[in-house]
Structure 1
Amino acid sequence: MKKTFYRGADLSFVDEIEREGGAYYEGDRPGDVLDIVQASGVNSIRLRIWNEPAGGYCNLERTLAMARRIKERGLHLLLDFHYSDKWADPANQWKPRAWEGLDYDALRDAVGLYTADVLHALRDAGALPDMVQIGNEITPGMLWDDGRVDGEHDTDGQWKRFAGLVKSGIDAARSVDPAIEIMIHIDRGGDNASSVKFFDRFREQGVEFDTIGLSYYPWWHGTLDDLRANLADLALRYGKPIIVVETAYPWTLNGPEGSPLIVRQEEQLHAGYPATVEGQSRYLADFAAVIRETPGGLGAGYHYWEPCWIPSKPEWSVGHANNWANLTLFDFAGRKLASLDTLGRG
């Protein structure tokens, strides 16, 4: 049986953009962005979920609405549990406010109960995810400081506590449906030493999961050759499917006036890929080829992070201006770029 190769996109901002008046176009024709990306070849959608976000987006209610739309189209759904009320990433793994006063045992139980409650609600709505992430970019741990493992917290005892929190989420997901695939996601796409350290630690702790998830952004994580080498080693070392679950590349170095763009300088670009729609397309084609070259057929696919985050308003309910407007696969007016079709062909 041929394995599915996931050509995915994280569309977590779409709900907010649409509800705040943003729109998407194929040429001059407006359309549902899910239809546009699916027609371009995207077959998997990733959504993040926050516990009780201040802005009200990416909570359970809004995730249910988005998940229904995704599953109605027959698309694969990857749900990304952040276990936070806001962004969780290598610099931020803060507990939800409701969990701040819990001791470790109660925190571990809360992870399990919350994970199960979310997945039961999605299942009852006919929108159960096919795959879930237990945490987002959890290289330094999660639910700090109980599950923190970076710096002075990098001890055997802390790794055991961190693994216990993750296992609670995994067990809860599998209790809802044993067929749900479990991903463990770190951010070190081009950093083999850090990747191996992390997954060796999880193997020592007996964390059982299905898929390795990596983030890879060239301006942070090295070259495509670095990514290729890491994928090859991880595949041979652990024998698990690998999805590069976050990537992006600029189609311009300019942005709407006042936009604090993350990528705005030539020095941040990967050699050989200019910040043009053509350069972005070439990057995506070569990036996809690197994943497909992974030994043992273990390169299982990729997700582009927020290709639809168009600048539909100057400030965002998540608390910052749009710094991603030149890393999308739609232009500033919401018109599809040719590079979206490259993503869908990968």
Structure 2
Amino acid sequence: MTLSRTARRLLTAVPLAALVLGTVAAPAQARNHETGALSIRGADLSFLPQLEEAGVTFRDVNGKAKPAERILEKHGADYMRIRVWVDPPAGYTDETRALALAKRAKKAGMKILLDPHYSDFWADPSKQPIPAGWPTALPALKDTVRAYTRSLVQDFANQHTPVDMIQVGNEITGGMLWPTGQLYPPGGGDHWAAFTDLLKAGVTGAKEGNPRHHEMKVMIHIDRGGDLGGTQWFFDHVTAAKVPFDVIGQSYYPIWHGSLAQLQANLDDSVARYHKPVVVVETAYPWTYADGDGKGNIVGPGTVLPDGDQYPATELGQAGFFEALRRVLLQVPDGMGLGFFDWEPEWVPGVGWQPGAEASNDNMTQFDFTGHALPSVYAYRKPDAS
């Protein structure tokens, strides 16, 4: 089911009203029983400047044109996640572009989660390449990580957009800065000591660059949202190595990371086991199986969604998924489920994941292919929002 724009506009008068039409699992009713608040309701908007440069205009559910961060902030978003690469292709998010986006975040009243990949381009569980201009020997690489992180955090502070939270690396389940910090390199053996030394160097540099009297949290981010065993394996090693950090960050994409019930079990266990709060720092869900740019998507008609019987790939199904995610986080014991970040909700057709490539998630955004906000933007609200 796809909502007409008229139907979407009705949601501005009665937020989430359409969600009780029976097409999804009654998230609006659950909303009335929320007893806590998610302190983090954020989005990674790193592609936003490129999309605007490509001519994309974003519109709220009422049809009014606004910058995407202003639309999300209006609906309750309080954090922007910004990735930064060391020397990416022209136009992609290097430090200069990240700093400019940080100014927009702060002007909109949003806090900043900084996501340095410690790479010239994409770093994820399948690849974590050392920047081309960096050393590869461990002692020099540790020094470089520390100095780079310190300088990065200082530069954000110097323009009056201090970093509120920083993750040291991006989805570092298999290590970072390969091959030096790769946990199990092809040649054999393990590099846990090298990897955790690099993590500590990043944490130290971040703290050195953070202004005195400004609170900044440190996150460690992996991609094991519904994988309890994998999460324990990773964080057991990290905590045994005494890596200092404040927050556990998880990527949770149902197509890879399991059901909402598995996510709940894993987050609950992490809080009990490590005594750290948890954040779903990357998530997204399809609102259609159509392909906006005709170049291919990660999620398509043959994709199995673990909870797809309750939350189909429709606009209302996507909204229902985010309502269910809110419930999962609110049910984490002791208020330790801090919140979520949608990953690139604005990544509509117009910019590829690399130059000339497709927008591979354009059916998992919170804006339709023309930049019009979808009902799932109401997931950013505070519990007592009207």
The TM-score with structure 2 as length reference comes to 0.85
**2:197 counterpart residue number:** 164
- SS at the partner of 2:378? helix
2:169 is aligned with 1:135:
yes
Contact 1:254/1:326, CA 8 A, preserved across alignment = yes
**1:53 counterpart residue number:** 88
Match of residue 295, structure 1, among 330, 333, 347: 333
Match of residue 28, structure 1, among 51, 63, 71: 63
- SS at the partner of 1:128? coil
Query: In structure 1, what is the Cα distance between the partners aligned to 2:329 and 2:355?
Result: 32
Contact 1:82/1:88, CA 8 A, preserved across alignment = yes
Match of residue 98, structure 1, among 121, 133, 144: 133
**1:150 counterpart residue number:** 184
Q: CA deviation at 1:4?
A: 5.9
Q: For residues 122-160 of structure 1, give each alpha carbon's deviation from its aligned partner in whole angstroms, at most 9, with x where no partner exists.
A: 11101111000000000000000100013657856x101
Contact 2:145/2:198, CA 8 A, preserved across alignment = yes
**1:89 counterpart residue number:** 124
Contact 2:130/2:136, CA 8 A, preserved across alignment = no
Query: In structure 1, what is the Cα distance between the partners aligned to 2:115 and 2:224?
Result: 17
Contact 1:15/1:57, CA 8 A, preserved across alignment = no
2:216 is aligned with 1:180:
yes
Query: In structure 2, what is the Cα distance between the partners aligned to 1:192 and 1:291?
Result: 16
Q: CA deviation at 1:338?
A: 1.3
Q: 1:319–1:114: structure 2 CA closer, same or farther, 3 Å change rule?
A: farther
Q: CA deviation at 1:316?
A: 5.4
2:239 is aligned with 1:206:
no
Q: CA deviation at 1:20?
A: 2.0
Amino acid at match of 1:174: K
- SS at the partner of 2:197? helix
Of 194-203 and 17-26, the range deviating more from structure 2: 17-26
Of 255-264 and 73-82, the range deviating more from structure 2: 255-264
Q: 1:62–1:144: structure 2 CA closer, same or farther, 3 Å change rule?
A: same
Q: CA deviation at 1:345?
A: 4.8
**2:232 counterpart residue number:** 196
- SS at the partner of 1:29? coil
Of 218-227 and 23-32, the range deviating more from structure 2: 23-32
**2:261 counterpart residue number:** 225
Q: 1:326–1:335: structure 2 CA closer, same or farther, 3 Å change rule?
A: same
Q: CA deviation at 1:343?
A: 3.7
Contact 1:188/1:215, CA 8 A, preserved across alignment = yes
- SS at the partner of 2:381? helix
Q: CA deviation at 1:23?
A: 1.3
Match of residue 40, structure 1, among 65, 71, 75: 75
Match of residue 307, structure 1, among 341, 345, 353: 345
Within 5 Å, give how 1:250-329 maps onto structure 2. Answer: 250-269=286-305, 270-271=307-308, 272-313=310-351, 315=352, 317-318=354-355, 320-329=357-366
Contact 2:287/2:363, CA 8 A, preserved across alignment = yes
| Structure 1 residues not aligned, in runs of 5+ | none
Q: CA deviation at 1:318?
A: 4.5
Contact 2:326/2:379, CA 8 A, preserved across alignment = no
Q: 1:4–1:275: structure 2 CA closer, same or farther, 3 Å change rule?
A: closer
* Larger Rg computed on CA atoms: 2
Query: In structure 2, what is the Cα distance between the partners aligned to 1:44 and 1:284?
Result: 17
Query: In structure 2, what is the Cα distance between the partners aligned to 1:229 and 1:9?
Result: 24
Query: In structure 2, what is the Cα distance between the partners aligned to 1:31 and 1:20?
Result: 16
Query: In structure 1, what is the Cα distance between the partners aligned to 2:185 and 2:86?
Result: 27
**1:336 counterpart residue number:** 373
Of 208-217 and 261-270, the range deviating more from structure 2: 261-270
Query: In structure 1, what is the Cα distance between the partners aligned to 2:102 and 2:148?
Result: 17
Q: CA deviation at 1:344?
A: 3.4
Query: In structure 1, what is the Cα distance between the partners aligned to 2:37 and 2:159?
Result: 27
**1:117 counterpart residue number:** 151
Contact 2:136/2:180, CA 8 A, preserved across alignment = no
Q: CA deviation at 1:341?
A: 1.3
Amino acid at match of 1:16: Q
Query: In structure 2, what is the Cα distance between the partners aligned to 1:41 and 1:200?
Result: 35
- SS at the partner of 1:231? helix
Query: In structure 1, what is the Cα distance between the partners aligned to 2:327 and 2:37?
Result: 16
Contact 1:311/1:322, CA 8 A, preserved across alignment = yes
Within 5 Å, give how 1:66-85 maps onto structure 2. Answer: 66-85=101-120
Amino acid at match of 1:161: A
Of 319-328 and 138-147, the range deviating more from structure 2: 319-328
| Structure 2 residues not aligned, in runs of 5+ | 1-35
Q: CA deviation at 1:319?
A: 5.3
Q: 1:345–1:320: structure 2 CA closer, same or farther, 3 Å change rule?
A: farther
Q: 1:301–1:316: structure 2 CA closer, same or farther, 3 Å change rule?
A: closer
